[in-house]
Chains A and B, each alone.
Chain A
Amino acid sequence: MNITVLAKFVPNPTGTPQLGADNLLMRDAGDGALDPGDEYGLELALQLVESQGGEVTVVTMGPDAALAGVRRALAMGAHKGVLITDPSLRGADALVTARVLAAAIARHPYDLVIAGAESTDGYTGTVPVTIAELLDIASVTAARKLELDGDGYRVERQTASGYDVLRSPSPTLVTVTAGATEPRYPSLKGIMAAKAKPVESLSAADLGVVDLTSMQSVASVLDAPAKAGGEIVTGDEAVGRIADLLQEAKVI
């Protein structure tokens, strides 16, 4: 089976995010990484092809530096990479991103598309379903489990009150939540092998996506009023102080 995994390259997930002078998130500011939220889906994809045979293609739209993210995915075990990088895509909004990624996915046959439930830096959470609609395929979001089921898939989807089990035909797009599985670390052998794996580099024009206008612009950015520091207590008085507060709030 052929699985396409969408994986984003994000600014250092543990660093402090910064806005550039143009009010866009600084994306090529040094130490970016493959979005940790996309490693869960990649891991599920690798497990599926390990048991079923087939290939995993990882697709990323991002700056030149995003090649490092694609290489990491290849080092984990993906077979091929596609990197869409184009200066005119800086500041691309969710719709442009979805159009570019959908066009990239459609170039090769696929049985399954896996994405993250939301990206660490953008957390729009809608890019994958917009892609599913553009490709006119089924989708299941917020999956915590994904298995083959005959000629389709069985997916457990998180809900506000528990989880639903869905049956989905092939091809399907599935978005995966953290906690679905434990991503592997790239092995030394994997890192070496990744260097020889093919990475296709594409521009927006290669994909026939010409309208790149973003329909959102930042009108203003303000610092939120800082919250005054509260009271800090330690030791013996702590329990009494919490109980006082609960009484003041009339919840005891």
Chain B
Amino acid sequence: MGSIWVYAGVTAEGPDPSALELLTKARSIGGDVAAVALGPGATAAADQLGAHGAATVYASDDTVFVDQPGRPAAHTLHALVQQHTPSLILFAGTYDARDVAGRLQAMTGSTLMANATDVLDATHGRTEIFGGTKIVDVELSGPEPRLVLVRPHSFAPEPAGGSSTVVPVVPVVGDGATTATVVERHSEVASGPKLEEASVVIAGGRGLGGPEPFAMLDELAAALGNAAVGASRAAVDAGWVPYSYQIGQTGKTVKPEVYISAGVSGALQHVVGMKGAKRIVAINKDADAPILKIADLGVVGDLFQIVPALTEEVRKRANS
């Protein structure tokens, strides 16, 4: 068996947590493990990538990888694949990594499995379908490397204490006729703890009825401290909050100590993004809402009464 590679997301702030999760998994499968890190921060990330299991880190700090998402990374990765012939490459299930994996597949002609929740060995991935009610193991065949996109937070990252050899990589860049270029970047993240890192996540849904009631959720978050506000896709599509708030299949995966929803029905595509929470609290006025079936504590009632009263109660208990 050839080596297992992790396509590691990196930024100037360090490796993406998903890269460390995937390396931890790759290590447990066995064989040689390497990481490919492309973009500013790649070389600096090598220590942490090494500590999580990458013996080799193929790295380039070139800004082309962030200025032209997808194509240069796919072509650079393809050049490395041709040279080193890995058996399996693991990617995080983000939009950026999908673009790289999808383009790479056109060049390698190998199989690509998306939405994996586990990697069993070099030829088997696991996924959950129908909102996590069925577990499907899939056998991967055909030419190597097989490509697997893994849902974030599927594994806990664990350092193994190793170190890595950095192999510098020369970017493979196409001409302007075949690449899109980033000309502006805009941030829409709220201040306070990040959605993926907060101990408590408070998600608002269509039941909020508009953008203003989100202020109510912000107040509850402020009262709790280490809490962040998220949303269902219905709330995002309506334009009440930006996409960076979205939890679920097409949004973020969160695993907080406590997840609280207000006015979210609990559609399968939302649930896959929050079912890993330690404790789930759902507030919904409809006793038949699917989210109440997966909640540890389901509250049947009007969110407009419960949320402000809860904020009061939290403040009281925090101060006593």
Contacts and interface: CB of A to CB of B under 8 A. Distances in A.
A141 B237 contact: no
Interface string A133-166: 1101111111010000000000101111111111
A2 interface: no
Nearest to A169: B177
B227 A220 contact: no
Chain B's interface: helix, strand, loop or mixed, by majority? mixed
Given A233-B297, A249-B279, A160 B257 contact: no
- Category for how many chain A residues contact B: 35 or more
Interface string A112-123: 000001100001
B304 to A, nearest CB: 13
Nearest to A250: B257
A196 interface: no
B111 A93 contact: yes
Given A130-B105, A169-B177, A230-B298, A239 B306 contact: yes
A10 to B, nearest CB: 13
A17 B133 CA distance: 11
Contacts of A239: 306, 309-310, 313
A184 interface: no
A115 B314 CA distance: 46
A221 B111 CA distance: 20
B252 to A, nearest CB: 7
Contacts of A128: 102
Interface residues of B, number: 95
| For the complex of A and B, 3 pairs with smallest distance between CB atoms | A126-B102, A215-B142, A129-B102
Interface of A: 16-17, 19, 23, 93-95, 98, 117-118, 123-134, 136-142, 144, 155, 157-169, 172, 177-179, 213, 215-224, 227, 229-235, 238-243, 245-252
27 contacts: A95-B105, A95-B109, A95-B110, A123-B249, A125-B114, A130-B103, A130-B105, A133-B107, A138-B178, A139-B70, A162-B242, A165-B185, A179-B233, A179-B238, A215-B110, A215-B141, A220-B136, A222-B135, A222-B136, A223-B134, A232-B298, A239-B306, A240-B313, A241-B299, A242-B299, A245-B258, A249-B257
Given A230-B294, A251-B224, 4 more contacts: A98-B106, A130-B102, A219-B139, A223-B133
